[in-house]
Amino acid sequence: MMCRRAVIAALSLSLVSSVAAPAQPDAAREKRIQWWRQARFGMFIHWGLYAVPAGEWKGQPIAGIGEWIMNRAKIPVKEYELLAGRFNPVKFDADAWVRVAKEAGQQYIVITSKHHDGFAMFGSKASPYNIVDATPFKRDVMKELSAACQKHGVKLCFYYSQSQDWHHPDGLGNTWDYDDAKKNFPKYLNELVKPHVREILTQYGPIGLIWFDTPQRITREQSQELTDLVHSIQPDALVSGRIGNEVGDYRSMGDNQIPARVMDYDWETPVTLNDTWGFKKDDQNWKSTQTLIRQLVDVVSKNGNYLLNVGPTSEGVIPQPSVDRLLEVGKWIKVNGAAVYGAQPSPYPYEFEWGSITAKPGRLYLHVIDWPKRDFMLYGLRSKVKSAHLLAAPGTPLKFMQIQDRTAKLSVLRITLPASPPDKDVSVVALELDGKPTVETGLAQQPDGKVTLSPIFADVTKAPDSGLSIDARGVATRWFNTGDKLSWKFRLYRGGEFRVVLVSSETRGAAGGDNWEGGHKVTVTAGGQSASGAVGDGDRRKNARNPRWQDVYSEIGRVKLSAPGMVDVTVKADSITAAHKMGFTLREVQLVKIEPNIPARAVPAKKRPATRRPAGRAKSGPR
Ligand code: H79
């Protein structure tokens, strides 16, 4: 088991880095969150007046996310309002949108009823600044979406920007038209937000959830009042974590952020298909289908929901590259949905390099992305496996063996897979277990011999004036102090010689020169031996779970470890370069065994019949 101190340190750090905090468990919440836990995958839609300029203002491209154009270009209210007169989405077809979500396997749709620009995309009596009263289109698109959602069995949900409103004189965020010091925020809440929230909860039938965002200065009482208002009108509607002050029904991670470990609470992450939420005509940086599926199963394996965004054009069309990818995800889900819908998180707290694990009572699903050359191996599964098959080939049992290595106190599952994967992106192996999945949860060496140590699981010792923190990705950042130290304990199963590799990471989103600095001298001590070296920039690789991030690999030496047992590892910086104010950023320490623990080949030729045992007659594992 991982030492208790490490678990507590890791948990408290991860809590600090997430956006909103835990909702109180209560019976009403348990009831209203059931559908959401089942759903696991939703469609986010950012649609508003910002789709008209589509990232360009007065002939100039405006950097950043498209729906922020009013703010980024400091467009005066009087000028921005004119966009309403040009908003005429004649190709809008609610049924077509909902069919895309349905085909993609998305169980709920969250659409911007009002974003920070303050324009209501629904018919409203609270303010004439809305799609029915202020545009030539005049249709209440939410009525049409509500009907289509009901027809296709998709839950309709609304995004609503409760704090920022750049149109209302008392809403937050617009400092170019209005004097921030003169704002009467409660007046805005009473005169616009509450009437709006009442309207979106009474005009469109049952609503799955209200996705509040960027709480900013909202007080606890104000967050609570809005939450209570939602629940008083629709007791089954959820409130997102970004209502603020920890009063939501579930937590929201940061935009595009996926945590590095399994979380023990309900959470959701909103993710962009390219690099914007609202439509921008020049943004063609689309995530690949494999990345999308990988992120979906990764999020579910960590107990979260994946809310994937589309930004329709001002004509009312979801961009074709988005539709293409969503339909491909949908094809995958038709085969593998059992491993996603209603699935529970992995019983292992940490990530696997080869893919992700989801679970159900009596079942484990192995989402294999790096298809093994020979057999697939899993360490530390204590439950007995009764049968195994690919979700893509339900009628064909896979051969497997479960053995117990008594010296190493290790259970090893070995599954013989076909030479090539049934799916080019992610192939899922379903394991039927004798009971609930139970595993060794401590950090441990993997079958390829490698040990991966993430800061999120570290015992953190900080120097008194340290600024070190672990961000939402699990990366140690603001490491400027040579007195800071991370330490871990892991279980070693097979000894040998290991390369000591530091995986550093960019500190911000986009790839580029200013996101990272190296040159630090670092010492890793493992099992009493040390390796020291510099963090260099020679080996950059895209992060497999989020290709928008580049990781930088540096081998700083080698250590020899003898097996089996618990090994202590510490990492300290001997000197830190901080010329660019980023310092040392550490995603993980890897101990990479020169020889894999178990050869990729199944078993020596003599013993070969052992792997040919029919499924169900495998050697028994430990109970
Ligand atoms: O609705 C989407 C975003 O518009 C919203 N949340 C998602 C779901 C969001 N609101 N605020 N933020 C996200 C944080 C915004 C940060 C930035 Fe910027 C906006 C970075 C660049 C533009 C603000 C302006 C900070 C720097 C410049």
What CATH number did the domain enclosing 380 receive?
2.60.40.1180
Q: 534 and 560 share a domain?
A: yes
Q: Cβ contacts of residue 176 below 8 Å, gap of 6+?
A: 74, 76
Question: Which 3-state string (H, E, C) describes 216-238?
Answer: CCCCHHHHHHHHHHHHHHCCCCE
Mutate to test the pocket of ligand 1, among 117, 176, 255 (most ligand atoms within 8 A of CB): 255
Give yes or no: residues 278 and 416 share one domain: no
Q: Please tell me the distance between residue 162's alpha carbon and the centre of ligand 1 in angstroms.
A: 14
**Residue located nearest, by CA, to atom 1 of ligand 1:** 277
Give distance in angstroms: CA of 251 to centre of ligand 1: 18
Residue 159 CA, closest ligand 1 atom number: 1
Closest-CA residue, ligand 1 atom 12, reads 214
Counting from 1 in the atom list of ligand 1, the atom nearest the Cα of 277 is: 2
In this structure, the answer to whether residues 467 and 547 fall within a common structural domain is: yes
Cβ–Cβ < 8 Å for 396, 389: yes
**How far is CA 284 from its chain centroid?**
21
Q: What is the pTM (predicted TM-score) of this model?
A: 0.91
* Nearest CA, atom 11, ligand 1: 214
CA distance 386 to 263: 28
Task: Determine the atom of ligand 1 nearest the C-alpha atom of 71.
Answer: 24
Strands 251-252 and 400-405: what pairing? unpaired
Distance in Å, CA 71 to ligand 1 centroid: 10
Residue 255 Cα to ligand 1 middle (Å): 9
- If residue 566 lies in a helix (H) or strand (E), which one and from where to where? strand 565-575
Does 601 map to a domain?
Answer: no
Please tell me the residue having the least CA distance from ligand 1 atom 10. Answer: 214
Q: Could you tell me the distance, in angstroms and rounded to a whole number, from the CA of residue 66 to the centre of ligand 1?
A: 10
Give the integer Cα–Cα distance in Å for 332 and 344. Answer: 19
- Ligand 1 atom at minimum distance from 115 CA: 1
Same domain, 309 and 361: no
Ligand 1 center from residue 181 Cα (angstroms): 22
Buried b (16+ CB within 10 A) or exposed e, 488-499: bbbbbbbbbebb
* Domain that includes residue 371, residue range: 355-433
322 burial type by CB count under 10 A (0-12 exposed, 13-18 middle, 19+ buried): buried
**Considering its fold, how many domains does the chain have in total?**
3
Question: Can you tell me the distance from the alpha carbon of 61 to that of 57, in angstroms, rounded to the nearest whole number?
Answer: 6
| Residues in the chain where the model's pLDDT stays below 70 | 1-25, 508-514, 598-623
How is 34-54 classified by DSSP, letter by letter?
HHHHHH-EEEEE--SGGGTTT
Report the greatest alpha carbon distance in the chain.
84
615 falls within a domain: no
Task: Burial-class residue 193 by CB neighbours within 10 Å (0-12, 13-18, 19+).
Answer: buried
Q: Ligand 1 pocket check: which of 68, 70, 158 to mutate, most ligand atoms within 8 Å of Cβ?
A: 68
Q: Which long-range contacts (CB under 8 A, 24 or more apart) does 168-177 make?
A: 168/118, 168/192, 171/118, 172/216, 172/217, 173/71, 173/116, 173/216, 174/71, 174/77, 176/74, 176/76, 177/76, 177/77
Instruction: Tell me the CA–centroid distance for residue 68 and ligand 1, in Å.
Output: 7
44 CA closest ligand 1 atom index: 8
One domain, residues 391 and 488? no
pLDDT digits (tens, 9 = 90+) for 479-515: 999 999 999 999 999 999 999 999 999 876 444 456 8
Judge contact between 323 and 100, C-beta under 8 A: yes
Closest listed residue to residue 539, CA positions, set 522, 526, 556, 560 = 556
Distance from the CA of 51 to the center of ligand 1, in angstroms? 16
Which CATH number goes with the domain that contains 108?
A: 3.20.20.80
Task: Mark whether 477 and 528 lie in a shared domain.
Answer: yes
Same domain, 122 and 248: yes
**Does residue 14 sit within a domain?**
yes
| Any domain includes 445 | no
Would you call 252 exposed, middle or buried from its count of C-beta atoms within 10 A (0-12, 13-18, 19+)? buried
Predicted local distance difference test score (pLDDT) of residue 13: 33
Shared domain for 254 and 383, answered yes or no, is no
Same domain, 544 and 398: no
Output the residue whose Cα is nearest ligand 1's atom 27.
72
Asked if residue 262 lies in contact with residue 29, where contact means CB atoms within 8 angstroms, the answer is: no
For the CA of 164, the nearest atom of ligand 1: 10
Q: Tell me: do 59 and 203 sit in the same domain.
A: yes
Q: Identify the CATH number of the domain in which residue 530 sits.
A: 2.60.120.260
Query: Is 602 contained in some domain?
Result: no
What is the position in ligand 1's atom list of the atom closest to the CA of 309? 8
412 and 482 housed in the same domain:
no
Q: How far is the CA of 67 from the centre of ligand 1 (A)?
A: 9
363 and 482, same domain (yes or no): no
Q: Given the CA of residue 270, which atom of ligand 1 is nearest to it?
A: 8
Q: Where are the beta strands (DSSP E) in 380-426?
A: 385-390, 393-397, 400-405, 410-416
Distance CA 497, CA 502 (A): 16
Q: Answer yes or no: are the C-beta atoms of 311 and 46 closer than 8 Å.
A: yes
Counting from 1 in the atom list of ligand 1, the atom nearest the Cα of 112 is 1
Whose alpha carbon is nearest atom 7 of ligand 1? 255
Q: Which of 586, 583, 552, 544 is nearest to 569 (CA)?
A: 586
CA of 254 to the centre of ligand 1 (A): 10
- Tell me the CA–centroid distance for residue 170 and ligand 1, in Å: 20
> If you measure from the C-alpha of residue 116 to the centroid of ligand 1, how many angstroms do you get, rounded to a whole number?
10
The Å distance, Cα 218 to ligand 1 centre, comes to 17
CA 612 / ligand 1 centre spacing (Å): 56
Beta bridge partners of 359: 344, 364
Give first-to-last CA distance, the chain, whole Å.
17
Residue at a domain's end among 334, 367, 402? 334
State which amino acid sits at residue 613: R
Residue 350 within a domain: no
Is 460 inside a domain boundary? yes
CA 589 vs CA 183, 443, 571: distances in Å: 49, 13, 8
Instruction: Please check whether residue 414 is in contact with residue 323, taking contact to mean a CB–CB distance below 8 angstroms.
Output: no
Q: Helices (DSSP H) in 302-384: which residue ranges?
A: 320-336
Q: Which ligand 1 atom sits closest to the C-alpha of 213?
A: 6
Ligand 1 atom 18, closest CA = 64
Listed residues 433, 467, 486: the one ending a domain: 433
For ligand 1, atom 24, name the residue with the nearest CA: 72
Pocket around ligand 1 at a 6 A CB cut-off:
46, 64-65, 67-68, 213-214, 255, 270, 277
- Atom 22 (ligand 1): residue with closest C-alpha? 64
Residue 221 lies in a domain: yes
CA distance 577 to 480: 8
